């Protein structure tokens, strides 16, 4: 139906190594609220991306992502991790969660995965893959970080 949201989470595997990418779609034109919430997802991902560097505690990355998403107030919640490692399995350490004592290291491949969910807004999520380098994060995702509109005839 027009206005519905769809989350697509894809796990490509190449040469024995996994990646994890998520995008959100609207059926027809997005509402102003859907566009606003998606813009917050992009902002949250960028906040986390700036902190992806060797030595950074995983919990600090989570806090940066969560800090942006808290601006939605009671309209939606962020009930899961801010990201995780990927590699020989689709989800592995480090876990970007509150209280984590793990620190990022150069060479780690991690995702950032901000999401917002609520009865009034449905759910949407954005996820990309990043290589942690001595110079910071290198995005391995080339797909645009935009809310994708699916055609709707009704």
What confidence tens digit (pLDDT) does each residue in 58-81 have? Answer: 999 999 999 999 999 988 999 999
Question: What are the sequence ranges of the domains in the chain?
Answer: 12-145
Q: Looking at the domain 12-145, which fold is it? A: Creatine Amidinohydrolase (3.90.230)
Q: How far apart are CA 96 and CA 46, in angstroms?
A: 15
| pLDDT at 135 > cutoff 80 | yes
Query: Is-above-0.75 flag for pTM?
Result: yes
Q: What pLDDT is stored for residue 154 in this prediction?
A: 60
If phi over 0 gives left and psi between -120 and 50 gives alpha, with beta otherwise, what is residue 142? alpha
| pLDDT at 99 > cutoff 70 | yes
Output the six-digit token pair for 154: 């009704």
Q: What is the mean pLDDT of residues 97-103?
A: 96
Q: How far apart are CA 131 and CA 72, in angstroms?
A: 29
């Amino acid at each position: 139906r027009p206005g519905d949201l769809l989350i697509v989470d894809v796990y490509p595997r190449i040469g024995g190594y996994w990646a994890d990418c998520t995008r959100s779609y609207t059926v027809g034109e997005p509402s102003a609220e859907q566009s606003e919430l998606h813009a917050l997802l992009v902002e949250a991902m960028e906040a986390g991306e700036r902190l992806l560097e060797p030595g950074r505690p995983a919990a600090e990355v989570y806090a940066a992502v969560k800090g942006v998403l808290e601006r939605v107030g009671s309209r939606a919640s962020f009930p899961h991790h801010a990201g995780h490692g990927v590699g020989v399995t689709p989800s592995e350490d480090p876990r970007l969660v509150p209280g984590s004592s793990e620190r990022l290291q150069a060479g780690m491949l991690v995702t950032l995965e901000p999401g917002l969910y609520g009865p009034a807004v449905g759910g949407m999520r954005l996820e990309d893959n990043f290589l942690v380098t001595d110079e910071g994060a290198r995005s391995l995702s080339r797909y645009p970080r935009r809310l994708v509109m699916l055609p709707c005839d009704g």
